[in-house]
Structure 1
Amino acid sequence: MTTLTLTRSRVARKDPDRYKQGAARWVVLALVVLTALLVLVPFAVMLMNAFKSPADYSGNGPLAWPKSFQLDGLKTYWQQVHFGGKLVNSIVISGSVAVLGVVLSLLNAYALGIGRVRGRMWIVALFLLANMIPQEALVYPLYSMAKSLGLYNSRLSVIIIFTVIQSAFGTYLLASVLGTFPKALLEAAALDGAGRWTTLWRVVVPTVRPTLSVLLIFFFIWTWNEFFIPLVMLIDNSTQTVPLALASLQGDRLMDATTTNAGALISLLPTVVFFLIFQRTLTRGVTVGAVK
């Protein structure tokens, strides 16, 4: 009886803390749901106005439910800005930058993190400082270089620029990861007669593949959303990207709200689809990196 009484008294003392933790979890969950709803409100307004007619928008305002679902805004936007060509341009530029940026970051970080070149810390710090330089300070030198090389108003110029910009961050991140790479794996590969390239592609890459996947997704989305440098470097309608297509709808004194909302909806869908496809890859990569 004494042992049973002691056990019950211990459980009774622990129960209040458990109840408090449960209540705190519900409060946190409620705050997260409320924040998510607040974030989704602008997207809901955009979705409603994308399917309105101009008369419905001007008569009832942006917050009213559409009287009838119209596709005129979507059709007008697609035809007016030649969205199909700009979609292809964004996919080509973002995909190329994502792949090339990851490869360049990996090669740089392999030399810095495992190769242990002289002045490694200074070089990594230089890459960190390069990430802090605003794009406004880079535009004129990049514009002059592209003009002199004959690459101005071409997708290749933007691909080269953003490959270097994104790889600066990728090099800094991967150099930190590879700086703590297990030496036992490298020594085992060396005993098996593996050279530097074999060690890179068969030992290092499989180990840091989750981190590379995360960088690939981030580079794609970041490049897709870039606006300022493509605005300066791409002046022809056939080379411009999706963000530039959306900006072309805004005039000095007149703006078609329904077409603009329809354009924002179409422009947002590719990145949402891309994120949903690679959501598990992103989550797995972040989780593995956290565990390591």
Structure 2
Amino acid sequence: MTATLQRPSTGAGNAVLKPHRQKPRRTVGDWILLIAVILVAALIAVPFLIILVNSFKSPSDYANGGPLSLPSNIYLDGIVNFWQRVNFPEKLWNSFFISGTVAVFAVIVSVFNAYAIGIGRVKGRVWVLVLFMIANTLPQEAMLYPLYFMFKQVGLYDNVWSVIIIFTVVQSAFGTYLLSAVFGTFPKEIIEAASLDGATRWQILLRVIVPISRPTLSVLLIFFFIWTWNEFLIPLTFLVSNANQTVPVAITALQGDRLMDVTTTSASALLGLIPTLIFFLIFQRTLTRGITVGSTK
């Protein structure tokens, strides 16, 4: 007796039914976590909403209804007054120039340092990393007088390059500590293969390590820019001239000893927030991709 194998028909009547995948049911813990995330997001969003509402509110509306009331009409004098009073385009350019230059220089210095420590395996690399970690924990107040005295002596006080040098060193300390750990896990086979092909150390760094580490470097670049943009104490101390001040320092010009225009101050905070928000939205995908690649590497 011979068995005959029949190929199943592919007609509509004999279509093979695929098992239906049921969506996982949410547990009580999932709902609690979701509610907690919504509450935290609301707490974060409330201050920004208050700034937004008060930026377009007249002083009389603020005096009558307080900070939580909606404006009776759109009031733009606060934004115009701040824009003209502090010469906001000039302050915006100073912040952009300082933050962008620091971000680029700090990433370059971090790559060179981490390449020597993480891959070059210099002697005493553990102690070097400890020094970089200690540098990250030093408060800015402890560095003010030594840095002030040093830049006074070299003639860079009240110069944007003094702030650029300071923040390049500070940010690269963190970048070196982070990239050293990343480069320390770099596959040695790739480096050895490049060496056998005749690549020099510079070529290995620029053509092998940097392209592979580009997502991590992009994340550092974005963080360094935002961190430097939001700095206040060191720019306030080292940039005393009005023409050299940054956006966070310019906002303090609206605060007096006895009186403070709340609506104009809110407008200044809004104008100071918009550039970093635009920068973050532009590079949001790059930041997400870099963090994802780093977590799955």
> Once the two structures are superposed, what CA deviation does each residue of 1:73-120 show, in whole Å capped at 9, x if it has no partner?
000010111111000000000000000000000000000011111111
Provide the residue aligned with 2:52 in structure 1: 47
Provide the residue aligned with 1:274 in structure 2: 279
Provide the residue aligned with 1:156 in structure 2: 161
For residues 147 and 184 of structure 1, the distance between their equivalents in structure 2, rounded to whole angstroms, comes to 49
For residues 65 and 36 of structure 2, the distance between their equivalents in structure 1, rounded to whole angstroms, comes to 32
Structure 1 window deviating more from structure 2 (27-36 vs 134-143): it is 27-36
Provide the residue aligned with 2:251 in structure 1: 246
Higher helix proportion, which one?
1
TM-score where L is the length of structure 1: 0.92
Provide the residue aligned with 1:7 in structure 2: none
For residues 134 and 39 of structure 2, the distance between their equivalents in structure 1, rounded to whole angstroms, comes to 37
Provide the residue aligned with 1:139 in structure 2: 144
Larger radius of gyration between Structure 1 and Structure 2: 2
Cα drift, residue 46 of structure 1 = 1.1
Q: Give the SS at the match of 1:238.
A: helix
One-letter amino acid of the counterpart of residue 188, structure 2? K
Provide the residue aligned with 1:201 in structure 2: 206
TM-score where L is the length of structure 2: 0.91
Provide the residue aligned with 1:9 in structure 2: none
For residues 107 and 62 of structure 1, the distance between their equivalents in structure 2, rounded to whole angstroms, comes to 50
Aligned mate of 1:172, from 177, 187, 207: 177
Consecutive aligned runs of 4 or more in structure 1 exceeding 6 Å deviation: none
Kindly report which structure 2 residues correspond to 1:1-292, keeping only aligned pairs within 5 A, or say none.
19=25, 21-292=26-297
> Once the two structures are superposed, what CA deviation does each residue of 1:198-231 show, in whole Å capped at 9, x if it has no partner?
0000000011111100100000000000000111
Cα drift, residue 22 of structure 1 = 3.4
For residues 141 and 170 of structure 1, the distance between their equivalents in structure 2, rounded to whole angstroms, comes to 23
For residues 65 and 31 of structure 2, the distance between their equivalents in structure 1, rounded to whole angstroms, comes to 39
Cα drift, residue 37 of structure 1 = 1.4
Structure 2: runs of 5 or more not aligned: 1-21
For residues 226 and 65 of structure 2, the distance between their equivalents in structure 1, rounded to whole angstroms, comes to 35
One-letter amino acid of the counterpart of residue 255, structure 1? M
> Once the two structures are superposed, what CA deviation does each residue of 1:113-167 show, in whole Å capped at 9, x if it has no partner?
1111111111011101110111101000110111111100011110011000000
Structure 1: runs of 5 or more not aligned: 1-14
For residues 122 and 216 of structure 2, the distance between their equivalents in structure 1, rounded to whole angstroms, comes to 22
For residues 224 and 36 of structure 2, the distance between their equivalents in structure 1, rounded to whole angstroms, comes to 31
In percent, how many aligned pairs have the same letter? Answer: 61
One-letter amino acid of the counterpart of residue 166, structure 1? Q
Calculate the aligned-residue CA RMSD, in Å. 1.1
Provide the residue aligned with 1:11 in structure 2: none
